[in-house]
Amino acid sequence: MLDPQVVLLTILVGLTTGLGAVPALFIKGTTQRTRDILIGFSAGLMLSVTTFNLIPEAMGSAQENLPQVGVGVALGVLALFGLSAYLPHIHGVMIPDKSLTKAMKTTLILVAVMIMHHFPEGFATGTAYYGGVTLFGSTVALGIALQNIPEGFIISAPLRSQGYST
């Protein structure tokens, strides 16, 4: 049976991505340098949350899950290489009748990666809450929520700066 509190908390974690997209509503008139600084800050925040919160929680206190975490990271890297190899061949998908620019290819890779990695985030949150609301589940959910905020920005800012509407 699904615990309604767990379902609500998991939905709230997912909605934090939208919260991160709010600053992109105002990004149209900014310079490329300002956008680069904001995206760099977002990427650094996501990397720090992953490095200092999510990966240590996944490995466990005695690092008993190190092989599984290593395999997960390696699969993520392989998926990125696969996207990078495939993406240049999907001309006209996002912008019909135009070839993809370097900026659009980068944006598409970012969007695809964020979509792909939200699945394991959902699994991680659900697994952490297995058996009910606990401190462990709340810690994992908070770590993922903190990471989702800059993710929303890092996806929406490049799309907005390339002329997509809010």
Q: Note the pLDDT tens digit of each residue in 44-95.
A: 877 787 788 778 878 888 888 899 989 988 988 888 788 777 765 554 555 5
Closest Cα to residue 152, out of 124, 110, 116? 110
Overall pTM surpassing 0.85 (yes/no): no
Model pLDDT for residues 29-54, shown as the tens digit of each residue: 667 787 778 778 877 877 787 788 77
Sequence spans of domains, the chain: 4-59+66-161
Residues in the chain: 166
- Alpha carbons 31 and 49: distance in angstroms, whole number: 27
Tokens 């800050």 belong to 41
User: Would the pLDDT of 145 be above 70?
Assistant: yes
How many percent of the chain have pLDDT more than 70?
Answer: 87
pLDDT of 95 reads 53
Q: Indicate the pLDDT class of residue 9, thresholds 50, 70 and 90.
A: confident
Closest Cα to residue 157, out of 16, 14, 34? 34
